[in-house]
Amino acid sequence: DIQMTQSPSTLSASVGDRVTITCRASQSISTWLAWYQQKPGKAPKLLIYKASSLESGVPSRFSGSGSGTEFTLTINSLQPDDFATYYCQQYNSYPWTFGQGTKVEIK
Amino acid sequence: QVQLQESGPGLVKPSGTLSLTCGVSGGSISSSNWWSWVRQPPGKGLEWIGEIYLSGSTNYNPSLKSRVTISVDKSKNQFSLKVTSVTAADTAVYYCARACIGGSCYFDYWGQGTLVTVSS
């Protein structure tokens, strides 16, 4: 299985901050990576696919980059609605696997 | 707009079988997508369980493969999950999701999730 490791596990930030979350794969996954946002009691919501493609309807302050084994999700000018947990997911090879999550908290 | 809705018992006894169904509306389950199940134990991360295509082809997570069956009912526009020999470790929120859009297997539509508790 491909292991996905996110850092940090928890991040404290303020409204207006620029936030960066890192996701590392245990082997190369090209750009077969997605990012999701999950709020308590809700299903995950797709933000980014193919490492850097923004899903329709997702605000442009979200962006993704990377290839191979290292990827980042950046949120420019953090908004109150962005406080949530974020997961990366690889779809290079079965079984599809997720990172352990990064919780973005209010500072 | 595709919508997915999970249904099934919220409580299952240990050693029993967990059975859930995912109804698809706003789109056809016979479209060129795979249909997946993902679970999330309370307070923990996401685990992919498996997926099915309209032809009935399946892929499963090896960690669960011996206990999991996913099936599809095209006439009802729904697909189902069975997990046998459940234990407390199978307690989780179970989500159904649409995957594999144009060959890229991320999940773009999700059900709201249903909590299944394994307890006597």
pLDDT tens for each residue of B34-81: 999 999 999 999 999 999 998 899 999 999 999 999 999 999 999 999
Lowest mean pLDDT among A27-36, A38-47, B87-96, B101-110: B101-110
Residues B86-108, mean pLDDT to the nearest whole number: 92
Q: Which of B49, B100, B105, B109 to mutate to test the interface with A (most CBs of A within 10 A)?
A: B105
pLDDT exceeding 90 applies to what percent of chain B? 85
A contacts of B105 (beta carbons < 8 Å): 32, 91, 96
Q: How far apart are the first and last CA of chain A?
A: 35
**Strands in chain B per DSSP E:** 3-7, 11-12, 18-25, 34-40, 47-53, 58-60, 68-73, 78-83, 92-101, 104-110, 114-118
CA B88 from centre of chain: 18
Strands A53-54 and A4-7: unpaired
Asked if the Cβ–Cβ distance from A97 to B48 is below 8 Å, we say yes
Residues in contact with B14: Cβ distance below 8 Å, sequence separation at least 6, in sequence order = B86, B87, B88, B118, B119, B120
Using the 8-state DSSP alphabet, how is residue A2 labeled? -
